[in-house]
Amino acid sequence: MNPRILLVIVSCVLSVLTGLVISRGGGSGPATRTRPLIGLSMDTLKEERWQKDRDLFVAEAGKLGADVEVLSANSSDTRQLADVEALITRKVDALVIIPKDAAAMAKAVNLAHQAHIPVLAYDRLITGCDLDLYITFDNVKVGELQAQFLAERLPATGKMRLLRIYGAKTDNNAKLFKQGQDHVLQPLIAAGKVEVLHEDWADDWKPENAKKIINAAITKHGPNFDAILASNDGTAGGAIQALTEEGIAGKVIVTGQDADLAACQRIVQGTQTMTIYKPLHLLSKQAAALAVRLAQHRPIIARDVSPNGQTDVPSVFLPIHSVTKDNLRDTVVKDGLVTEKDVFGR
């Protein structure tokens, strides 16, 4: 019997008994290796957050006695698949993947499994495969908090005229952010309190694509809108450039996500209104601990599951926070993600 099937049966029995889901990997590196080797395959290092994710992950894995080989695919599916193949050839004991394309990376997971290497999806889900484990933030909640922020700032009379920028269509998270936003917005749209004037997906999450979306909205409707629901800080930055060129930066509510340094600075300056802070130190540390356990074939307890179209993937969800000028110090600065001096200039 396929050992993976046996694991699924064990997992089912244990979940009935304890209400938990157990996931266990089966990788096996060369006998001469004394420290586990983890392969980290990243979509991109473009956004500031991913550089932090990488550094924190590698440092934590090192503390736990493991080595990490990191490859970044520069937003190319072909390159990411080749990266994973290279890591499999290196006989890594566990693979951690931040997929560019949720569906395309199923092939990478299947290849890893053929080589008996367990796979942990980091922050972004991989769909349509027998993924071992997933660690992330509550991404639907991210979208809900972004939209809730707008819902609490509706104009006293009339409707809030809104532009919406979604993320990359290929990123499962982008769909979850939209789903969360829709939960909050749809009743307000139905009640005539919010009108969406323009909406679009920003390919590859690129700020320049977000800017084009806002430029197109301005061409169509003029600068007559109250808020931009940007799904992350990168796209918020692109949107704010368009607003600056139009002379209305600071007059329009702009949301974001990631607490990038540039976004925190914009929040202090008043051109961006909020961001969602996702404590990356928690994600990267827990992910490193989980990856090391997978590499060492030790059992893992995950309390949640994420359906990925093929299976219910054992999942770990971490908390998130809505951040404005008022609580920047008590959250992002306090946790050391950015410094007081970098954000406030003193």
Contact residues: ligand BGC, CB under 6 A: 47, 49, 123-124, 167, 171, 173, 205, 232, 234, 257-258
> At 66, phi and psi to the nearest 5?
-115, 155
Q: 74: closest CA among 44, 111, 39?
A: 44
* Residue 72 or 232 with smaller CB distance to ligand BGC: 232
DSSP 103: T
* Residue 49 or 141 with smaller CB distance to ligand BGC: 49
> At 169, phi and psi to the nearest 5?
-60, -25
List Cβ neighbours of 51 (8 Å cut-off, separation of 6 or more).
45
Buried b / exposed e along 300-326 (16+ C-beta atoms within 10 A): bebeeebebeeeebbbbbbebbbbebe
* Residue 173 or 322 with smaller CB distance to ligand BGC: 173
From the CB of 47, what's the least distance to ligand BGC, in Å?
Answer: 5
* Residue 88 or 168 with smaller CB distance to ligand BGC: 168
* CB-based contact 325:268 (threshold 8 Å): yes
From the CB of 237, what's the least distance to ligand BGC, in Å?
Answer: 11
From the CB of 98, what's the least distance to ligand BGC, in Å?
Answer: 8
Q: What is the largest CA-CA distance in the chain?
A: 71
From the CB of 124, what's the least distance to ligand BGC, in Å?
Answer: 5
* Residue 7 or 121 with smaller CB distance to ligand BGC: 121
From the CB of 122, what's the least distance to ligand BGC, in Å?
Answer: 10
Distance between CA 160 and CA 118 in Å, rounded?
A: 47
Beta strands 304-307 and 312-318, pairing class = antiparallel
* Residue 47 or 199 with smaller CB distance to ligand BGC: 47
* Residue 11 or 231 with smaller CB distance to ligand BGC: 231
From the CB of 152, what's the least distance to ligand BGC, in Å?
Answer: 23
* Residue 47 or 203 with smaller CB distance to ligand BGC: 47
Distance from the Cα of residue 244 to its chain's centroid: 27
From the CB of 326, what's the least distance to ligand BGC, in Å?
Answer: 22
From the CB of 318, what's the least distance to ligand BGC, in Å?
Answer: 12
Specify the long-range contacts of residues 194-199, CB closer than 8 Å, at least 24 apart. 194/150, 194/154, 194/159, 194/160, 194/162, 195/159, 195/160, 195/161, 195/162, 196/162, 196/163, 196/164, 197/161, 197/162, 197/163, 197/221, 197/225, 198/163, 198/164, 199/163, 199/164, 199/165, 199/166
